[in-house]
Amino acid sequence: MIIRLGRLTPGYFRLLQRQVAGEVQAQPQDRAVNQIAMMLAIMGLSLSYYSAKQMTENVQAQPAP
Tell whether the model's pLDDT for residue 61 goes beyond 80.
no
pLDDT in tens, 12-59: 778 778 888 887 776 666 778 888 989 999 999 999 999 998 888 766
* Cα–Cα distance for residue pair 30/40, rounded to 1 Å: 15
What confidence category does residue 1 fall into, taking pLDDT thresholds of 50, 70 and 90? very low
Identify whether the C-beta of residue 18 lies closer than 8 Å to the C-beta of residue 24.
yes
Q: What is the pLDDT of residue 48?
A: 94
Tell how far CA 20 is from the center of its chain: 16
